[in-house]
Amino acid sequence: MDWVLALVIFIISYVFIISEKINRALIACLGGVFMLFAGVIDLNSAFLEHIDWHTIVLLLSMMILVSITSQSGFFEFLAVSLAKLIHGRPVPLLIVISTLTAIGSAFLNNVTTVLLIVPIVLTLTKMLNITAIPYLMAAIIASNIGGTATLIGDPPNLMIGQAVDHLTFNAFLVNLGPIVIVIYIVIMAGITFLYRNQLIVARKNQEMLMSVSPKSYLKDRPLLFKSVTVLVLTTAGFIIQPLLNVDITSIAMGGALLLMLLTHEDKQTEEIFQTIEWVTLFFFVGLFMLVGGLKETGIIDEVAKSIIYYTEGDLPKTAMLILWASGILSGFVDNIPFVAAMIPVILEFQEYGMNNLDPLWWALALGACLGGNGTLIGASSNLIVAGLAVKAKQPFTYMDFLKVGAPTAIISFVLSSLYLYFRYLVYFQ
């Protein structure tokens, strides 16, 4: 009966997570504790086997790096400098904001990036006296697309990378980068066309923006030099990680500790830890325990058998099923729990004769990350932007976003399907 208890606890927890009526980290941790009380898992196996501390520490390290760097004013300086470079013209500004968001989401992570970008967007659009909605929509979509390209860009990729040793930072960049660029270009062209009538700025407002000095946003020059240097070195470490033969989590942890050491006189350690998104980290802890309960009771194994039976072990069919199923579901529920549940399922496929699982990992990553654009509740970054927009009195509704997000997601899935088929799956026909 353990499997019944595990499934009931998982489903109830999942329903509350989707409803968002109670903090999702609290629900996930409560679900994990109920797994312990029900005897589905024990404390030792939860902490030593099921909770992926590599993922937790990597997220924590990146949060520290970004938190300290943001306090220097670097990100605001960069955005205003780029806006002045294109003379405040609305269409180029949309492209600049979107590109900056996509790149930031790839090399920082999408949640952190939108928290940094949205206040800048609101400031710039206020200066230009135009609606912020096209730029906020573009920022949401660009964050989910850009985050798909790298191991650290979106939590689902991070979870996949930690579960599969050979899927390094470079592996994600090389395998997902090309299709992400294509999708980004196609989608941004569509968004620019869609909002073309709203992208008009008065001349006097452009002149006002041009009078603003980007340097006024730089709050601490020594901190700027230290933080940007360490951030660049850490990113470089991710790229050359196979040569260093050091785990990517160790590189991120080393970068975070180095930056804390270099800035400890100005930025107290206690203050830095207060800026960490502890809710996100504890959500992962609880989630790993919930999924651990499904693994312990054999439910994961049964799901894997069912998928293999349905697709008859055919790799192309399995990859396409995972891509579209993960994409559609990620539009309506948080993609993190879904990916956490799917990782052990895909790993089980090796037991049934599938030796090359890489196309399945890329299918899962593309579906889960790009599916976040489907609806307003599809990704954490979407909800963060919507909340900031309401505070700034630039609100948009669930349906407003759906009209843009749903076509974006479908186009992304079609392009991803073609890419997966012709790059990886055609050889298996």
The pTM (predicted TM-score) of the whole model is 0.76
> Is-contact 168 151, C-beta < 8 A?
yes
> What one-letter code names the amino acid at 201?
V
> What one-letter code names the amino acid at 393?
K
279, containing H or E segment: helix 278-296
| pLDDT greater than 70 at residue 81 | yes
Per-residue pLDDT band for 304 (boundaries 50, 70, 90) equals low
Count the domains in the chain.
1
| The pLDDT of residue 334 | 62
Which of 3, 120, 112 is closest to 62 using CA atoms?
Answer: 112
Instruction: Please indicate whether residue 227 or residue 340 has the higher confidence score (pLDDT).
Output: 227
Q: For residue 148, give its domain range.
A: 2-428
> Is-contact 349 305, C-beta < 8 A?
no
- Number of other residues whose CB lies within 10 A of the CB of residue 43: 9
88-146 pLDDT tens trace: 888 888 998 999 899 988 887 777 788 778 878 887 888 788 888 999 999 999 999 99
Handedness of CA 377, 393, 103, 254 (dihedral sign): negative
DSSP state of 428: G
- Number of other residues whose CB lies within 10 A of the CB of residue 207: 11
Q: Which residue has the tokens 């539009």?
A: 331
> Is-contact 386 396, C-beta < 8 A?
yes
197-213 pLDDT tens trace: 888 887 877 777 788 78
347-388 pLDDT tens trace: 888 776 677 889 999 999 999 999 989 887 777 778 778 877
Query: Would you state the structure tokens that stand for residue 69, as one six-digit string?
Result: 């760097």
Rounded CA-CA distance 128/190 in Å is: 23
Q: What angle do CA 10, 402, 334 make, to 5 degrees?
A: 20
Percent of the chain clearing pLDDT 70 (strictly above): 97
139-154 pLDDT tens trace: 999 999 999 999 888 8
Query: Would you state the structure tokens that stand for residue 163, as one six-digit string?
Result: 């579960």
Rounded CA-CA distance 345/326 in Å is: 13
Q: What is the mean pLDDT of residues 170-178?
A: 94
Helix/strand/coil for 219: coil
